[in-house]
Chain A
């Protein structure tokens, strides 16, 4: 979606030799890559390949055991001040939406700006209504999450993240928990976001989205970053047998 080649710009996120274990399982193996300003990177791979875990290390929902992750110039460590600073700049959208069920859609969107950015109530509200309109939910601002469909909830969740004006948005299988007829409404919002120049890292099984919107595809296999390539090359000129088998299995 971006016009300039990604590598011409400075990286927003850099991961170097990142390793992670869950007990005896080695779920991330020496993962090294960078994400650039304005880029849409799509991470794919079989379940259990480490792709979601890798995404979650980028805002330290998971700690990496070794290696180095730098976000917007700040290294991810246990330093709480650093961590809070990074999380303000990194938006996250979850598979299960994780909206706050006791708050209305509007309150879900205004909570973080009011508490973290200390935005005055009226201003936060105004901004939130604009964002809800942007994701097509202007009429649903006062509903609680349980009154919304899955697709609507996920769109509120996207608006909630955008309200913090993050520099990068992470999407962890944002359409995997949705009924098929609701997938497109969420993907459309994400496409719109990509067109606006937002830096995005998206873990997904939606290959059409990956091909259409992605600037770069990252393929994870058994905890390793097996390949990164532009979509045309990845989907149409794939040389790797392992990836060809994976693509063959899901594209029907």
Chain B
């Protein structure tokens, strides 16, 4: 869905329209975060009096998503490359990581990082950091599969041309294969990040004061679940919509061949 893309003047090029969309949607996201408190305060009971808390929860949710989302792309690239390695010693840990993360519930992973990990390694992360680590590892495993598919979709002739020119395998990957693969992987990566935004609600179980947690606290204090959870859901919906707009525009920006 590229709603914003069609808003711009007809004379603009696809690049201009997509750049404008990225800037506008990005600004919109920042505006939402800054103004959420004041906008929510305009609403009647039970939302108005709890506006500040809901706005703070929204900010935590966005922080979790952006942090884990960015780190998750990095983890995904590393895991994808490792999984495609000819060396078993590199491939096997990547296989295990992707297999175990995709095969277990995120809820268990969040609980594991917060409660079990400190028993194994002598590091106690805060609730927020634990959630960020769990979400990063989770989205990273799904990203790995998306990126691997993208790498495999780049025609073999690209590698042959690059290697024939004398570029090393690493240069071939960085300059030739990855930029094309990333573009192919972008739609599934975006899906993963939108899913991540919603999945960040699971940080609730270890006490992170993100949006769902705050919603539940407000419900407990006001005994009005219907308006509270409708508002919570509406905030998620606005965030996922803006995120989809931004990624749709990035996709259009990278689409040099103008296939769309």
Contact = CB atoms under 8 A, between A and B. Distances in A.
Interface of A: 59, 61, 84, 87-88, 90-92, 94, 96, 98-102, 111-112, 115-116, 144, 146, 157, 160-161, 164
B161 A92 contact: yes
Contact of B256 (A94, A102, A111, A112): A102
User: Which A-B residue pairs are the 5 nearest by beta carbons?
Assistant: A88-B166, A98-B161, A112-B165, A92-B164, A98-B157
B175 to A, nearest CB: 6
B165 A160 contact: yes
Contacts of A88: 165-166
Contacts of B168: 84
Nearest to A99: B161
A157 B165 CA distance: 11
A160 B155 CA distance: 18
A61 B256 contact: no
A101 B180 contact: yes
A94 B157 CA distance: 8
Given A94-B157, A102-B256, A146-B258, A112 B167 contact: yes
B interface majority secondary structure:
helix
B158 A100 contact: yes
Given A61-B160, A94-B157, A94-B160, A102 B180 contact: yes
B163 A87 contact: yes
Interface residues of B, number: 21
B166 A84 contact: yes
Interface in B188-229: none
Q: Which of B162, B165, B257, B258 has the most CB of A within 10 A?
A: B165
B207 to A, nearest CB: 45
14 contacts: A88-B166, A90-B164, A91-B164, A91-B165, A94-B157, A94-B161, A101-B257, A102-B183, A111-B175, A115-B175, A116-B167, A116-B171, A161-B164, A164-B165
A128 B191 CA distance: 40
Nearest to B182: A102
Contacts of B175: 111, 115
Nearest to A56: B160
A115 B171 CA distance: 8
A8 to B, nearest CB: 30
A69 to B, nearest CB: 15
A35 to B, nearest CB: 17
A87 B164 contact: yes
B107 interface: no
A116 B165 contact: yes
A101 B171 contact: no
B141 to A, nearest CB: 27
Contacts of A161: 164-165
Nearest to A145: B257
B202 to A, nearest CB: 37
Contacts of A99: 161
Contacts of A84: 166, 168
Contacts of A112: 165-167
Interface string B53-79: 000000000000000000000000000
B256 A144 contact: yes
Nearest to B180: A102
Contact of B165 (A87, A96, A144): A87
Interface in B125-169: 155, 157-158, 160-168
